[in-house]
């Protein structure tokens, strides 16, 4: 039995379905029924299951056809829908930024994605939207990362945002990843993406940095450099070198820092 997960929109939650008599792969578009509305959904996961509980899941209606996809909101109609919704938001004086809208295949439901700094009481807005569009209305609050993925932009590297290309799936980004890549103290602009959150690429490169760091002795290790004793005080992970502090042997009282790699060392300027 084929069990699949689908999303109605990139920022929406995932739904589980059973695909009977269909061979599906990730990325395909199917027609499903959610809350009595026909929906176009993208397959995000496919697995085989024999669990009895899965037999109670709803069944995929069919694969989407070109005419189904053509019935999605056209660009002009989508733009007008968002504009009309934003006008109603302004009338209600709500602190909401409308980002996207997703329509059911039969037009019976509209799902609006928005961002906000806090919680929003939009109950009256939903009533007005339902009457204005003559459809069931759903409002979904999304985060800044989802907003960046939807709207798109260029990263500080000059390339398309990772969330739209190399790393389409969000994962947890931690300060430990930034620390491992030695960029924590270089300013927030070096570690923050266009969404204002920690850059997704920190996750992509983290394992590589940890591997390279494992080749270097820990900071605090006492070493012998050309017969002189010193202590490692800093790593240069990509160069695979370390800074070694050598205690001053003269009356000047100044320690010397030298950068050491596998075969040679040099005084750091």
Residue 210 has pLDDT above 60, yes or no: yes
Distance CA 60, CA 223 (A): 65
The closest of 218, 217, 175 to 198, measured between CA atoms, is 175
d(CA 171, CA 187) in angstroms, rounded, equals: 22
pLDDT greater at residue 211 or residue 54:
211
What is the predicted pLDDT for the residue at 52? Answer: 67
Instruction: Give the residue among 62, 63, 55 at the shortest CA–CA distance from 3.
Output: 55
pLDDT of res. 269:
41
> What does the alpha-carbon distance between residue 138 and residue 111 come to, in Å, rounded to a whole number?
5
3-state DSSP assignment of residue 229: strand
Q: Which has more pLDDT, 118 or 139?
A: 139
Cβ 233 vs Cβ 226: under 8 Å: no
Residue 136 has pLDDT above 70, yes or no: yes
Closest CA to 78 of 64, 95, 99, 96: 99
Q: Mind listing the pLDDT tens digit for each residue in 163-199?
A: 877 776 777 888 888 888 888 776 677 788 888 888 8
d(CA 8, CA 78): 16
Give the Å distances, CA to CA, from 249 to 12, 229, 233: 65, 11, 18
Domain 75-142 has CATH 3.30.300.20: yes
Position with higher pLDDT, 135 vs 263 = 135
Q: Which of 56, 43, 53, 55 is nearest to 5 (CA)?
A: 43
**Average pLDDT, integer, range 5-11:** 89
The pLDDT confidence band at residue 41, using thresholds 50, 70 and 90, is very high
The string of pLDDT tens digits covering residues 230-258 is: 899 988 888 889 899 987 665 566 778 88
> What pLDDT, on a 0 to 100 scale, did the predictor assign at position 112?
94
- Write out pLDDT tens, residues 50-59: 766 667 889 9
Q: Is the pLDDT of residue 132 over 90?
A: yes
Mean of all residue pLDDT scores within the chain: 84
- Looking at residue 262, its pLDDT comes to 61
pLDDT at residue 264, as a whole number: 62
């Amino acid at each position: 039995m084929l069990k699949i997960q689908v999303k109605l929109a990139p920022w929406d939650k995932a739904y589980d379905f059973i695909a009977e008599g269909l061979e599906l792969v990730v990325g395909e578009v199917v027609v499903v029924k959610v809350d009595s509305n026909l929906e176009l959904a993208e397959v995000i996961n496919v697995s085989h299951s024999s669990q009895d509980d899965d037999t109670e899941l709803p069944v995929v209606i069919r694969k989407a056809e070109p005419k189904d996809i053509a019935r999605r909101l056209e660009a002009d109609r989508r733009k007008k829908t968002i504009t009309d919704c934003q006008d109603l938001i302004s009338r209600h004086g709500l602190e909401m930024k409308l980002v996207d809208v997703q329509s059911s295949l039969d037009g019976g439901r509209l799902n609006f994605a928005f961002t906000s700094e806090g919680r929003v009481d939009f109950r009256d807005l939903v009533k007005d939207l339902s009457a204005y569009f003559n459809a069931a209305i759903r409002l979904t609050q999304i985060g800044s990362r989802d907003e960046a993925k939807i709207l798109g932009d260029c990263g500080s590297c000059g390339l398309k945002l990772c969330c739209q290309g190399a790393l389409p799936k969000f994962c947890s980004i931690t300060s430990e990843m930034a620390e491992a890549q030695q960029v924590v103290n270089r300013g927030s602009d070096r570690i923050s993406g266009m969404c204002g959150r920690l850059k997704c690429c920190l996750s992509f490169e983290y394992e590589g940095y940890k591997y390279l760091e494992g080749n270097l002795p820990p900071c605090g290790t006492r070493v012998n450099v050309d017969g002189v004793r010193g202590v490692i005080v800093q790593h240069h992970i990509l160069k695979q070198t370390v800074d070694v502090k050598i205690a001053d042997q003269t009356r000047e009282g100044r320690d010397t820092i030298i950068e050491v790699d596998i075969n040679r060392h040099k005084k750091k300027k």
